Amino acid sequence: MRVHYIVVLLGALATSVSADVSRTDSKIAAPRYARSLPTDRTVVRGLRSNKPRHDSEERGIFDGALAYVDDFVKNLLKERTGWALIDDLTENVNLSPKISEMLKKNTPVDEAFKALEVEKVAGIDNLLESQQWKEWAVFVIKRSKDTPDEALSSAMSIQFGLDRVSSILANAGKNPKTKAIAEKLEEAQLKRWLSLGSDPDKIFEALKLNTKFDSFFDSPQFATWTSFLKAFNAKNSNKKEITGLDVLLQYYKEDSLTKLIVSADNVNSPRAQQYLDELLLRWRDQPLHPQHVFTMMKLDEAGDALLTNPLLSRWVKYMEDFNEKYPLAKTSMIQTFTKNYGDEKVATMLQAAAKASDADTAKIASTLQEAQFKNWMVLGLTPDEVYNTVLKITSTSSPKADIWRAYYNAYEKEFPGKLFSFNP
């Protein structure tokens, strides 16, 4: 039976109700307004005669004409409904007297939401554990017998908006007591969107993903959207697959999307890295030179932390692939570093990194320092010139003097017996 799972879960919730809900500072507006799906438009509830199409579809789940006879409605909380799990649920929940009266009057779900004061606890960490939400959920299920899971999910979307519902269900999913019901409600939400023929871009907008915010790729909203995208492609397997990158690029230009991906809040996100890898493949085929990609990935701003930047390895892989495919335009790490930071800065960065406690970082730095020295030799720079014009050393006690001594030794090894103007 379609209602069994959600009823059992709601029944389990009822036994864990807290007697004192301290947080009542909800920021949710009074439900005079509703959001239609999938566009999340705002409509005034008082205008009953001319509702937007999507809003009507949402409300149709639970606001349609219900064929309850008056006597049945009056005794709804006393008689068996025919669904054992719902009967168990109502026995376990200490229902507010308001519910019986509202069911008898066939009260709209949004009015019940206000009457049961669900909005007052909307700001708590786990809304699904609150007494107010449980009572309202029971009301929705009692009022809409055919599809209680979809009715409850739809009702929540209208009251909170799709973006808020994603956060609410994500928080509930972290609690073992409410995890299963949160998953079922999200599943019902995805099914409803598919049944309404919603497109990935419309849901993207409804979840407000067309506006940047912190931890974008690890947000509940983005997780909900990726789940819908997967379900959408599965349902439309006979059509060309829509990728996440396709939709992202509809709302963000490549440079803007790259900045979002490599931002501090997203740089370590597996989802963000996935989209970066897809962008790198796209850039290689354009083709986009590694120097340009280096700046797009903001590696030119990494400074002393360049060698430990988690994005560097991806850029190196891109550079290697680019060099193999376009040998006439190939470049190297040291050439790119020098172009962005200059010889002196790169030299000091590598010298410091070569002394790092991390063995891998130290090894990479030493290898790059050798590459820099070879580059200087190819350019014909003598130790004298490096001392005066590259490193601009003013004292032999300067930390940069150690770099010069290392270059002096490398130069002498490469050109043994060659005389220099001085030897500090």
**Calpha distance 344→355 (Å, rounded):** 17
User: For residue 307, which of 367, 247, 267 has the smallest C-alpha distance?
Assistant: 367
User: For residue 17, which of 177, 173, 183 has the smallest C-alpha distance?
Assistant: 177
Please report which helix (H) or strand (E) contains residue 34, including its range: strand 33-35
pLDDT in tens, 231-263: 999 999 999 999 999 999 999 999 999 999 999
Q: What is the pLDDT of residue 134?
A: 83
CA angle 86, 92, 96 (to 5 degrees): 95
User: For residue 115, which of 31, 24, 13 has the smallest C-alpha distance?
Assistant: 31
Q: What is the pLDDT of residue 71?
A: 38
Could you tell me the pLDDT band of residue 382, with boundaries at 50, 70 and 90? Answer: very high
The three-state secondary structure class of 78 is coil
What's the full length of the chain, in residues? 424
Residue with tokens 């601009």: 392
Residue 335 above 90 pLDDT?
yes
**Calpha distance 44→32 (Å, rounded):** 6
| Percent of all residues in the chain with a pLDDT value above 90, rounded to a whole number | 60
pLDDT in tens, 47-106: 334 444 444 444 443 343 333 333 333 344 443 343 343 344 345 556 678 888 999 999
Q: Indicate the average pLDDT of the chain.
A: 81
Q: What is the pLDDT of residue 94?
A: 66
**Calpha distance 186→259 (Å, rounded):** 30
pLDDT in tens, 101-154: 999 999 999 999 999 999 998 888 889 888 888 888 888 888 886 677 788 899
Residue 302 above 90 pLDDT?
yes
Per-residue pLDDT averaged across 310-325, rounded?
97
Burial of 175 (0-12, 13-18, 19+ CB in 10 A): middle
- The separation between the first and the last C-alpha atoms of the chain, rounded to the nearest angstrom, is 88
For the four alpha carbons of 308, 312, 314 and 319, in that order, the dihedral sign comes to: negative
| Percent of all residues in the chain with a pLDDT value above 70, rounded to a whole number | 76
The three-state secondary structure class of 224 is helix
